[in-house]
Structure 1
Amino acid sequence: MATGQNSDPLRLLVVEDNEDDFRYVQYLLRVNTINRYQVDWAPSYEEGLAAVRSKTYDAALFDYQLGGRTGVDLLRELIGAGSDMPVILLTGSDDLRVDQEAASSGAADYVCKQNLDTVHLERSIRYALRQAEMVRALRESQSQLQLFMRNVPCAICIQNEAGEYLFRNELFQRHFDGAALAEASASMPDGTSWQFDVADHHWLIDTFPMVDAAGRKLRGLAAVDITGRIRAEEQLRHTTSLLNGILTTLPVIASRVDEKGLITESRGHGLEAIGLKDGDQVGQSIFDLHPQETDEIQKALGGESVNFRWQADGRNRTHYFDNFFHFDRAQGAGAIGFSVNVTARVEAEAHSRRQSQLLTSVTRNLPIIVGRLDNSGCVVEAEGEGLAARKLSIAALMGRKFAEIYPQTREAISRALAGGSAHFNLSGRGESEEWQAEFFVFGDKSEQGGATFLGRDVTQQRTLEKRLLSISDSEQRRLGADLHDGLGQHLTGVACLATALRDRLNADKSPQAGMASEIASLVNSGIELTRALARGLCPVQVEQNGLPAALEDLAYQVQRLQGVQCHFDAIGPTRLIEPNIALHLYRITQEAVNNAVRHGAAQQIDITLDTERRPHQLIIEDNGCGFDPGALREGGGVGLGLMNYRATIIGGMFKINPQPRGGIRVECTFTNNSSSDENPN
């Protein structure tokens, strides 16, 4: 490639071990070529190699004979090092062997130094430079082609007529077994596309004929990976199937409207509820069907997403639909919507609201509180402030464990949390009166577990019941007093007369004296029975000497009159128990002892009053035959019910259970409201 006078000179390197030959070449390059060439000389193989490595030259002339080496050896070493500099070989004479070796080694040209002139040498240099440019361009093209072949998302190969691979890119080598593909493609004519599956990949194959520079027929093959498309199609089919399943089985309606609001598609099982079928709404204006929702639909047509509810009458029932509409971005206009029949939910919500309103009305107007406990017994829900004045407000209970606030309820709460039910009473003293509340707690059978509770204020009821019971007790005391002071005194008089009669008859030595003595004895026995009966109806000991003395006397009378071993034991300071509480505890003990003697045939009864425990305990145990404790829960006898009621009256807990070795254990836990309970001394 020649340059003009204003161009930079070409940089040439001459590797020649004969200085005269170098000077001759240098002379030829200077004749009529002023400043066209910059020529450097390397007198040996090694210096030539070093010069090429240290500087950049546009071209080089290598002498074929360089001592013990040749210019061809130097050229090959440079090519091996990555040099693309064009090289011309210089020979001393024409030699066919040198010509062939120059061509095979990659030399751009070779010239004979004999009869060499400037024109011939310049022509050879220009030819070498043009050839180098062409080689560089070809190499660049080949490099870009190789890069394209490696990175193109296609598997590509080229085969000759014998089926041998002339080229295969990396993608082809990684995914294809040549034999399997060759067998599959053998029957496929060129110009057709077909699918070929390898492992979990799917390929679209195209074959095409080719011809090389020599006119040989070749065959090209390009395979495009369509795995993503196949999977997307499968997903689309699955989604379509799922959508069709939803539309044919669930109460939904799928609709599409154009930009003017005309329905272009409407289908789904939800249409049946309003007496329609697929396509019946096509062509209608959605604004006419739902005029009250015009603004929302306009928003959807304008590019937004909206939801609203509409109702329609069908099959003697009003149906409610939740609608979800959004702009149809795929079409660029109109809207797509789904309508879900939520009639059952709406009706359930309405029913729930009615129930909630009813519960709210009840809890607001009645003296009750209802709520729910979680699995640990903590109050997690509560409604009603009817017991707020009794320190049982929602604020006082929420988030706290019921049994920790009221330890006496621990057993009942545990039974309910285990899935059962229980009943307990709470009591306390307010500013002006003593109050009582009755609670029922039931295990929650749902998955969340826990328990529900209902509490109601029974202060007025208990007060009335107390008065009635007090009247009953007063009547018993009056009857007892009448028996003691009336019948008892009368029988005492009869006994005195019978005794006097006996003494007179004995003085007269009458045979009837024995009968008179027997009459006196019977009357005295009647007096004892009358006094015992009067003592039971009117336990004067309770009022005069306190509960322990009364229970001690009761145990003595049972032993004396019934012939049963009966023992009383008092633990703790009991002398100052409130008279009202003491009377009820006495009646509970009296009923338990009577049951043990009459129904249980007990031979030993133990009565224990323990006020050291908190709450206090009254325990009556016997060794009789016992009875079914379920009788109390099922209604039982009047006596059992009355004992339980008396325990409730004093704010206590009543339990009756069989003992392991036979007999019955009656237990009443209570709290003494007297200040003496807190400070007995």
Structure 2
Amino acid sequence: MKFASESDLPLEIVAEFFADVSSALSDGLVLIDSHGKVLLWNNTIQNMTGISAANASGRYIWDIAKETWQYSHEREQMYEESRKFVLDTVNSHSGSLHRRIKFPCLAANGRKIILGINLFKKTFGNEPLLCCVLSDITDLFPEIDSKILFSESQSHEINMRTPEISPQEFLKEEALHISAEKYSRSFRFAPISLTITTLNEGKIIDVNDEFLRNTGYTREEIRSKTVFDINIWESPEVREQILSPVKKWKPVKNREIIFRHKDGSFHNYIFSAEPVRIGEVDCIVSNFIDVTETRKLEKALRVSEEKFSKSFMLAPISLSVTTLEEGVILEVNDEFLNNTGYKREEIVGKTVFDIKIWEPPEDRNRIIPILRQGGRVKNIEIVFRHKNGDLHNYIYSAEPIVLDGVACIISIFFDITEKKKLETALKISEEMYKTIFESSGSAMGIVHNDTLVLVNNGMVTLSGYSKKEMEGKMKWQDFVVPEYVREIRRMAKELATKEVSLINKSEFKLRDSNGNIKDVFCLTTLGPGENQYVVTLIDMTEYNNLLTQINEISKREQQRVGELLHDNLIQYLTGISLLVRTLEIKKQVGRSIELKDIKKIHDLVGESLTLAERLLKGLFLVEIDYEGLPSALKNLATSVNDIYDITCTFEDNGEFDIDVMSATELFYIANEAVHNSVKHGKSTEINIRLYESDCNFILEVSDNGIGIDEKRLKQSEGIGLKLMKFRAKMIGAKFSIKNKKDDKGVMVSCTFPKKN
């Protein structure tokens, strides 16, 4: 092979030149010899396809194309077309050739991507080589026809004889081309606004997508316009002032300016610009970042700080800010000074140990470790010494903050000495009661004279009304279905005449704010105040609906069994009856009874017994108490094998101490999962597995079916799925259903805790 230097270099040397460059590229690079075999396969294309360089080297490129082609039903066609394409390109009379191809393929992680391939044919001496530069262009072509795309590829052939070049010159030429393409893509998709304009006239040469998104313009609206035409600068004079250094060929960095958007709104930007020469024209490359929201936030922060300062000083409770470690007093509010008797100048800058305010001084040490770890101190009782030496009891709260990089404490405390101590203690008690009230997990309300005076979030969820709509305004019977109101009021009156511990229980229906009727279980008991009582409501709607659906299924199952008996077993018995009658008539008329007649009766009886046995298996699915759960699951697998003619296996790892009720529910979960696999999953193989871990028994049913759409699964209202979840909940088990990791089939699992 002859190069421009007239020296003979083997292909391995040429490939080595390419390898040196390819290691620094973020695009894929493939080098192919004149026979279509891969000489070079860099790390980037390896990461894209999952095919290693060792696996690709020496293989025909059309074999790899077939393997990675996105459309599996077209892979044979891809093999033939890619082979013809490569060989035709290699054998073409053109010394140099450039083609662009869009190639849909499967990435290493299984994601479907579109590769943009720049294919270059270069001849080194008499040896043609193909160089492919590959980029992920999926974002540019989110959808692409599944047709083989060689017919759409653009090619540019150089028909004149091309001078022989060295590998170094070729690589330099390709690197320049790749660099230009990368710059264009980086400009277009950069996350900040970029523009190129002429320096003097301000003519817009190019803008990126982020500029258009920010300003509201379309590319057509600004094409061939100047910045003065679209009036984007606050004024021409401002532009002249900002860009004066650029005209002296110096950059402008991080200047704050105001730009006018298409809708006329003004926005704050951080602006930088660099002079460049494009051809013979002086231009500016500008980048700018919209900081309008940042400025608004800064302004809001200043206002907030002012509000905080005023609130701090004028707060009706004592506040102080001290350093965490040394206890240096940085600031106190007026109420602190009024309570303790100090003046501000007497204590600011001193430590709490200097003024001996803590009693005893080491008592401060019990809060420091908590605050040092970022925790809060809330409502603890402490003793402070005032300036006159008097000791006062305080309720103290503190939170760690950082001021100018220094760990500090903002403290809140109020004097509970004498009467205030009792009042504050009562308030704390009420807060604790409210916390319990809010975190109960059920819908709760405190009622006074039938009016809701306090409700928790559970009541908001159940009724659909907000706290604002209910508290102090609504009678809680307002959303109870009318026929139940009299009974509820009777029970409420009853509470006043019975023991305090009395709890009344009832069931009724209520109507939420959207008009939906819900079944609820109600508990009423005496409340915390006079003439008050507490109502607790538990939503039973879903539970009752499920019971109704179970009853409906039971009825349908009864009807199904009746139909099976009528359409199958009774038909056989009728046939037997007719045959017996025929034999009776033969006997009466003196005809002989043939053996084949008796055999018919025998066969029909045998078929009837077989059918009856199958029907009984459907009626008595499981005998947990006698055989145990593993035996029942094994019988289920055998039954599925016989009935559906598919492979259903069962495996376990020992004996299982599971009570009859729990084992029965687990069996029915497995039964439902298996039949769903057959009916909906179109499975040919099902595996039932029962095993134990340290703390749990685990039941798994997996198949090789078509899987499930997990989005649709979350919205599913199917009775089968509800029943499985319901059964798991009844025995305190954790239920899950999901596609298997290999995307082939479904895994249903139920984790049941062992007994202590």
Query: Which of the five TM-score ranges fits, normalised by the shorter chain?
Result: 0.3 to 0.5
Q: TM-score, normalised by structure 1?
A: 0.37
Give the greater-gyration-radius structure (CA): 1
